[in-house]
Amino acid sequence: MGRAVRGTVLAQMALLAGVLTGCSEAADGDDAKASAGATKPATAEAAAEAMAQAPEGTVESGGSVGAAGSACELPVTFDTAEKWQPEAVETEVPGGGSGSEEDQLAAELAEGLLHQGPFTAACEIDAKPAGNIGFLRVWTGEAGAKEGEAEALLKEFVAAEGNTSKAEYTAFTSDSDVSGAEVEYLYTSEVLEETKKERAFLAVTPDGPVVVHLGGFDTQEHEEMLPAYELARRTLRTT
C-alpha cells in the first residue's frame, strides 16, 4: 500500500473512530484514565460517589430519549440521568462507497464499530458531562423477533462482543410493564489487559429488539454509573 493510500486510510479510520466514540476508552489506555481523573472536579467525584451508593430510583432524571424529535429516535423511550448527553450514532461510512481500497478498509472498520452480532449501534449517552468515563449505548435489531426470544437474542449480543465470561441472565420488567432479559458479565480487554464488569438489557418491540448496554472504562466506573443504567431500565417504555 503506497504512502498516499495509507494516509487516506488513516484519515478514514480517524473519522470512523468518532462514529462510536466509546472505542477511545480502550485506545487511550491508562493515560486517558489518569488524565480524566486529574481533571474531574471534586464536586463531580462526590456526585459520582453518591450516585454509586444511592439506592435504585434516587438518581435524578435529566430528560429522555427515544421519542420522535429527541436526540435519538428509537423503538423505546427511557429517562436519562442528569447531565448525561445523548447523541445518535452516524451509520454512514465516510468516503461515499467509491469502491477504492481505502473505502473498503474504512467499511470493514465501520462494520466492527457499528455492528455487534445482529444489532446496529443507534445511540450513545455520554457520562463524561456527569463526571464518569463511559456510555449507555443503544443497539437495535431487525423486526420480527418474538418476546420469548429476548434471552436468546441477548446471548447473541454478548457472544458477538467476544472475550466475555461469567454471564448471568435474569428477567426484568420496567415500571411500564415492558419485559425482557438482562445480563451481567465480565469482559476482558486485550488492549488494556484487564477484566471489567458490563451489563445490558434487551426488550423485544414490534419494531425489533433493543439492547441498552452499560460498559465503562473499568469496573469502578461501571459501578458508579449503575444508577443511570437502572433508571433507563426502570423507565423503559415502547414508543
Number of structural domains, the chain?
1
Specify the pLDDT at position 183. 98
Give the separation between CA 189 and CA 187, rounded to whole angstroms: 6
Work out the angle at residue 152's Cα, subtended by the Cα atoms of residues 123 and 195, and round it to the nearest 5 degrees. Answer: 65
Q: pLDDT band at residue 54, thresholds of 50, 70 and 90?
A: very low
pLDDT one-digit tens code per residue, 163-187:
999 999 999 999 999 999 999 999 9
Q: What is the CATH number of the domain that holds 160?
A: 3.40.1000.10
pLDDT one-digit tens code per residue, 58-104:
689 999 999 999 999 999 999 999 999 999 998 766 555 556 777 77
Q: Where in the sequence is the domain holding 99, given as residue range(s)?
A: 3-238
Cβ 86 vs Cβ 71: under 8 Å: yes
